Each structure stands twice: as structure tokens, then as C-alpha cells.
Structure 1
Amino acid sequence: MQIAERELKKLPAGTWPGPVLSSRPGGDASLQVPPYELFVDDVKRDKETQDKDWRHLTLWGDSQRQARVMVIDTESAESGTAVYRVLGSQGELLARVTRRRGSIFRFARTSWRVEASGGPVLRGRKGHMAGWFLWWLFSPVWAVMLVLIPLGGEFPRMPLTTRWRLDGQEVMHFDEGDYGVVSGWSEARLMQAVAMLHWVHPTVLGDWSRP
């Protein structure tokens, strides 16, 4: 599943390999993780006319971009809420994904809602309540450390872990750059699409999310 460095150099400009899903320890032992690693064409947004959450991604099953798997485009994006359409290789609608941006001023966590066409709804939230509580409890310390960044200090990360659940049961888990699939879902491609969308929304304090 890993791509050799020389292969990466052959990729067209604007194309990069997306995150790979793996089975998470303690999950469903019979789970079959989607076997493909997707390659992404990432259209850059027009910063003057398009919201910062606007995305348009074409997902390919091969580095030569011969086998198109999915397209993710933006249906709407404004005021911290973006709705994305996930389209199959024939243009069929697989799902709508709604992302609501978190806010430290509203004490709101970033949330995800994945509505599969004719199927169930997957929900995800960033971080844990306990983690955010500790973050705010020590916020005066973080403020001091923020001042020290120009001198070489590091600003502690906000909680980054995200869990997606279906009817209360965890389906997929993100932690420190890794996506772990815990249990199966009716449409395996959508797990890859959700991971890809999450991957292209980098955080202020982490540059691992997007090339």
C-alpha cells in the first residue's frame, strides 16, 4: 500500500495519494477494509469568490488516472457549514456530507453528517468532551505558550481525534494521521470519501492533513 518515492515523482502536478484505511485493533475481526488507495486531483479554490471550505476532488484508483472511483464537489459552503456531494464513477449520487466547522467562541466541536443515498446516516464529532474540558481548563497556560512561539516554543494541539458512528456504534476512527475502520458499513467507498474529505481540512495547528 505504500508508494515508492520514484512513483510519487511521476504523479501529475496537483495529484497526490490519499490516506489509507486500516483495520483498527479491537474492531470487527471479519471486517474487510477497502483494498484500494486512492489518488486525488485537488482543484484549488478561488479565494476571492469561494468559501474556505469549498472543495472539489476527483478520486482515482490508479496513479495514471484511468479508473475514476468518485468525485466530491461542493453543493454549498458558507457561514461555517459546507455540504458536499459524493458522486460515483457514473455520476450517481452516493451521499451528501455536511461539515459544520467548530468554534472556540461558540464552544462547538467540528461535526460531520454523512447521508448515504437510500441508506443510514453516519455522524462524527471532533475530540472528546473530556479533552476539550482539559483544553479550556488550561487555556491560560496555552495563551502564555502562544506568546513563546516566535522564540521556538510549541503551541499544544487542540483535541484532534474524530469518531464516526452509526446508530451509536463506532464505524471509523481518526487519530494522529491514521484512519482505522472499526466495523463495516453498507457502502465501503463512502468510508474512503469521508476520510478524504476529513484529510483535506487541515487544522490550524497541524500541517499533516494536506500536501
Structure 2
Amino acid sequence: MSESKKHPRPIIIGVTGGSGSGKTSVSRAIFDQLHGHSLMMLQEDSYYKSQDDVPFEERTKVNYDHPNAFDTDLLIEQLEDLLKWKTIEIPVYDYAAHTRSKEVVVQEPREVIIVEGILALNDARLRDLMDIKIFVDTDDDIRIIRRIQRDIEERGRTLQSVIDQYLKTVKPMYHQFIEPTKRYADIIVPEGGENQVAIDLLVTKVRDIIRKNEA
């Protein structure tokens, strides 16, 4: 008997939203509440394209909020492998070198796969693999405040550099590529991880799908 026949199809949950929206908090809250099930998180950020053939100075100018920055084909290919209960090797991105590192993370398939990223709902091929599509909707002013706090405290950035990047790429890319994907969401969650009612409803829905798959 093949692996695919031994197991029900894994459930894929897509979680998207702008930078600082709280999508990671929502993903983590779902993850933490689904006790007794095997779960994994797949970060879209792991799939930034390799830039080994690009000079370093050019790499630093890449717009990481644009769809072209991501190797979406590889993400889709690996998700399809996980759906067939095949182990994958997740790329590891080296942010200091602005390219993919030589390392990979070996990931075995799980019952529930949470795909989280700013453009998780941007590609129709990716959306078609998902059982539940979530858009975390948070006001621009709250998102920029969170981004400033994170980048200064965790990444050693200056206030001015964070503001400049936000105005130059983050905000325009959000309105051009991320916010329009809200129309594809099954559920829109305002205020991210603080919305406990929405998270409880999502967890209940996932458990219901798992029960049906196992029946």
C-alpha cells in the first residue's frame, strides 16, 4: 500500500497579511491550539530566490516585497510533495549574504501544514492547494509601528531606515500585491493574534476537516 493511501490528505492553511499584521501570531495561535495533531509551519520567506549569480551590490537592491523575489514554483512543488506524504528539504535564506545558503531543513510531512507569508494567496496555483485561506487585516498605522519596533529591537535598524524602506517598497507593494488578495480569503481576521474568537473558530473548523478526513 502506498504512503498516500495510508494517510488522509494533509490539510493546508494559508495565512497572509501585510508586514506587521499579526499573521505569524495567528499562525502560532492555531498551531498551539491543535493539540494531538502533527503540524508544521512553512514560511514563505524561506523561498526567496537564490542570487548566487548576482553581484552583492545588486542583491542588496532587491525588493523583497515583490512576487518576483520568491521562488514560488519550488514552494508549490514542495507542498505537492508534502501532500503525497514525501519528505522535503526547505531552503534556508542567508539575509546577510542576500542569497540562499547551502543549508536546508529536512521536513517530514504532517497532518496540518500552515503556509505563512505576505504573498501566500497571490498565486492561483498556491491557493488551489489550500483548504483554508486566511487574510489578517490590520490598519496601516498599527503595522508600521510594529515593524519599527521589530526592526529596531531585533534587527538593529535605525528608525529612518525603517521608515524609508516602508515608504519606498513595503507600503506600495502591500497595496499593489497583498491587499488585493483579501478577496480570495475564506476568513478575514482583524487585528491578528489578539482576535481570540476568530482563532477559536478557525481551530474548530480545522478539527472538523481532520475528523472528516479520518472518517
Higher helix share: 2
Could you say which structure has the greater relative contact order, defined with CA pairs below 8 angstroms and 6 or more residues apart? 2
TM-score (norm 2): 0.27
Higher strand share: 1
